[in-house]
Amino acid sequence: MKHYEVEIRDAKTREKLCFLDKVEPQATISEIKTLFTKTHPQWYPARQSLRLDPKGKSLKDEDVLQKLPVGTTATLYFRDLGAQISWVTVFLTEYAGPLFIYLLFYFRVPFIYGRKYDFTSSRHTVVHLACMCHSFHYIKRLLETLFVHRFSHGTMPLRNIFKNCTYYWGFAAWMAYYINHPLYTPPTYGVQQVKLALAIFVICQLGNFSIHMALRDLRPAGSKTRKIPYPTKNPFTWLFLLVSCPNYTYEVGSWIGFAIMTQCVPGHEVGKAVAFALQQPDEVVRTVVTLL
């Protein structure tokens, strides 16, 4: 059986970093990364990007050496992706923050609204309902991260967690400040408005969870399989007939309901869901049509 020789060079400087002799033809890029780490331990596999061209796309971990357009002496170019952190850790950090921060405003801890309001409670029922809805949403997200979601990539750049947390934590504080403010006034149309909006929020949360479960079932544990989702017997999944990611449709619906219930504009999750959709123009049109 013929073996391959793999030369790894820096994508920027073209400097030779490593030479691997007698590499099995069936070796995957993931295995080559592991071999590279033995000579350069500071670059663990998740931090490596290997490519055939210095400015080309990163090769997938599952790519097999002998199936790549290279000869028996292959040259791969390395880029450092920077320090990495697991997606699970990122999600847990993003979601635990808003849950904790919102409760600080709800219980009116000192230095937020002034001394005479420290640890006081709102007299409006909608404020307490809003706290329950917000807490439910983020507890749901934390549990889904631990027991439902399956990630195709194990890590992401560490620097992204600061950007993501600034968004989640900052907007949670902005929203909580107004809803739990001592001068907060309840919705214009009173109980009927609250009940209708609460129903929208709950239904959309159930829909969002249903879609997450449906997407989870499309990817067997430990795999990176990407199957096309189709509606199931669960009516919440029927939106797959209209949009490819109805979990975001339900996310938008949930926070529109929350904004109507509290009559408070900073329903930050609406912005997040829309921002994601704007990255996929076709989804914008189909999501809006679905909501209407």
Residues 76 and 103 in one domain: no
- Residue 24's domain is classified under what CATH number? 3.10.20.90
Of 63, 82, 101, the last residue of a domain is 82
Confidence of residue 268 (pLDDT cuts 50, 70, 90): very low
Contacts of 114-122 with C-beta under 8 Å, sequence gap 24+, read 117/182, 120/182, 122/180, 122/182, 122/184
What's the CA gap between 36 and 67, in Å, rounded? Answer: 20
239: DSSP letter: G
pLDDT for residue 62 is more than 80: yes
Last residue of a domain, one of 82, 99, 125: 82
What is the model's pLDDT at position 277? 45
Same domain, 204 and 233: yes
Residue 267: the pLDDT is 54
Q: Can you tell me whether residue 73 is helix, strand or coil?
A: strand
Residues 142-153 pLDDT 10s = 999 999 998 877
Same domain? 151 vs 270: yes
Number of domains in the chain: 2
Q: Decide if pLDDT at 289 tops 50.
A: no
List, in order, residues 6 or more apart from 275 with CB less than 8 Å away. none
pLDDT at residue 279 tops 60: no
Same domain? For 55 and 100 the reply is no
Q: Rounded to two decimals, what is the model's pTM?
A: 0.83
Task: Tell whether 113 and 229 lie within a shared domain.
Answer: yes
Confidence of residue 51 (pLDDT cuts 50, 70, 90): very high
Task: Give CA separation, 23 vs 43, 66, 70, 73, 281, in Å.
Answer: 20, 10, 13, 10, 44
Note whether 69 and 23 are same-domain residues.
yes
Q: What is the pLDDT of residues 193-240, one digit of tens each?
A: 999 999 999 999 999 999 999 999 888 777 777 788 999 999 999 999
Q: Kindly report, residue by residue over 112-144, the tens digit of the pLDDT.
A: 999 999 999 999 999 999 999 999 999 999 999
191 shares its domain with 241: yes
User: For 12-41, how does the pLDDT look when each residue is reduced to its tens digit (9 = 90+)?
Assistant: 999 999 999 999 999 999 999 999 999 999
Q: Is 290's pLDDT higher than 60?
A: no
What would the pLDDT profile of 255-264 be if each residue is shown by its tens digit? 999 999 999 8
User: Residue 153's pLDDT is what?
Assistant: 78
Same domain, 89 and 74: no
Question: Which of 37, 64, 82 is where one domain is finished?
Answer: 82
Q: What count of other Cβ atoms lies within 10 Å of the Cβ of residue 74?
A: 19
User: Taking residues 99-112, what's their average pLDDT?
Assistant: 97
User: 32 is in which domain, residue-wise?
Assistant: 4-82
Residues 141 and 260 both lie in one domain = yes
Tens digit of each residue's pLDDT (9 = 90 or more) over 168-194: 999 999 999 999 999 999 999 999 999
**Averaged pLDDT of the chain:** 90
User: Are 75 and 102 in a shared domain?
Assistant: no
Residues 179 and 244 in one domain: yes
174 and 212 co-located in one domain = yes
